[in-house]
């Protein structure tokens, strides 16, 4: 079966908009595979850091991306055989992922790796350019967003729940900086695809967001 015949739901949006949680739950509901493309970039940023490679060194980081030793085992994410599921969720690695995502050679190196996740019976993929670049033929495209204030509060609560120290003002500033960087990059900037549904979760809980995505998918099938 060719990739274009495999059903894909592509969900894009800014950091901390809730797209990852929504995408995972939609995938579970449909029995589809799930791709957290952000994790791929976070893993590359972490691997580069471990190898002493500067996040601004495009050639070196793209080489790291090309030979990334990654295994997704249920909820565990292994890098070179080590579980880094929690490590890649740190604010530092998140910032690094945003920086390397602006490098064209890095994005090119990771494109085929992401597309390989499209397998029967289907895939739900979330990221920044799932609908525009990675899966442009996806039958359902969604741009999931929320206000910067709402996203910062969610991230703050996540960090506190993990026992980490967090500052709401710093998180807000960091999210706004990431948004600006993601929208301004020359390759695959963060933007709503012309044929994507807009889903604003500022005043919406996860269950309601998942329900809306499943409703749109049912309409697409009809």
- Exposed/middle/buried for residue 131 (C-beta within 10 Å: 0-12, 13-18, 19+): buried
What is residue 14's predicted lDDT score, i.e. its pLDDT?
A: 92
- Residues of the chain with pLDDT > 90: what percent? 74
CA distances in angstroms from 45 to 78, 81, 87, 151, listed in the order given: 14, 16, 11, 22
98 within some domain: yes
- Look at residue 1 and tell me if it is in a domain: no
pLDDT band at 158 (very low <50, low <70, confident <90, very high): confident
Residue 49 in any domain: the answer is: yes
Q: Categorize the per-residue pLDDT at 108 as very low, low, confident or very high, splitting at 50, 70 and 90.
A: very high
Residue 53 lies in a domain: yes
Asked if the structure places residue 177 within a domain, the reply is: yes
CA-CA distances (angstroms) from residue 183 to 10, 44, 77, 99, 170? 18, 20, 28, 12, 20
Partners of 20 in beta bridges: none
What's the whole-number average pLDDT of the chain?
A: 92
SS3 145: strand
Instruction: Look up the CATH number of the domain holding residue 190.
Output: 3.40.50.300
User: How many domains does the chain fold into?
Assistant: 1
| Residue 210 counted as domain residue | yes
Q: Give a yes or no: residue 2 inside a domain.
A: no
Q: Give the pLDDT mean for 122-129.
A: 94
In contact, 49 and 96? CB cutoff 8 Å: yes
pLDDT at 179: 87
Q: What is the largest CA-CA distance in the chain?
A: 52
Query: What are the pLDDT digits (tens) for 175-201?
Result: 998 888 888 877 778 889 999 999 999
**Per-residue pLDDT tens over the stretch 88-105:** 988 899 889 989 998 999
Domain interval for residue 36: 8-221
pLDDT at 173: 93
pLDDT band per the 50, 70, 90 thresholds, residue 74: confident
The residue-averaged pLDDT of 17-35 equals: 94
Q: What is the pLDDT of residue 2?
A: 44
pLDDT, residue 4, reads 63
Cα–Cα distance, 92 to 5 (Å, whole number) = 38
Residue 183 lies in a domain: yes
Distance CA 41, CA 197 (A): 25
Give percent of the chain with pLDDT exceeding 70: 98
**Calpha distance 100→80 (Å, rounded):** 20
pLDDT at 159: 87
Give dist(CA 171, CA 22) in Å, integer. Answer: 22
pLDDT at 34 over 80: yes
């Amino acid at each position: 079966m060719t990739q274009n015949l495999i059903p894909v739901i592509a969900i894009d949006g800014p950091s901390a908009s809730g797209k990852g949680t929504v995408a995972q739950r939609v995938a579970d509901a449909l029995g589809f595979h799930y791709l957290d493309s952000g994790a791929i970039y976070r893993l590359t940023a972490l691997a580069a850091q471990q190898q002493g490679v500067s996040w601004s060194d495009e050639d070196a980081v793209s080489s790291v991306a090309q030979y990334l030793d990654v295994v997704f085992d249920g909820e565990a994410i292994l890098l070179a055989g080590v579980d880094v599921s929690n490590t890649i969720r740190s604010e530092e690695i998140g910032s690094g992922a945003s920086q390397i995502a602006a490098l064209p050679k890095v994005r090119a190196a990771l494109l085929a790796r992401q597309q390989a996740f499209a397998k029967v019976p289907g895939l739900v993929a979330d990221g920044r350019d799932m609908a525009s670049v990675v899966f442009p033929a996806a039958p359902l495209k969604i741009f999931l967003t929320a206000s910067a204030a709402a996203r910062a509060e969610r991230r703050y609560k996540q960090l506190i729940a993990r026992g980490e120290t967090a500052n709401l003002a710093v998180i807000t500033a960091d999210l706004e900086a990431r948004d600006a960087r993601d929208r301004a990059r020359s390759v695959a900037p963060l933007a709503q695809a012309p044929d994507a549904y807009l889903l604003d979760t500022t005043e919406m809980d996860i269950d309601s967001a998942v329900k809306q995505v499943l409703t749109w998918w049912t309409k697409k099938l009809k």
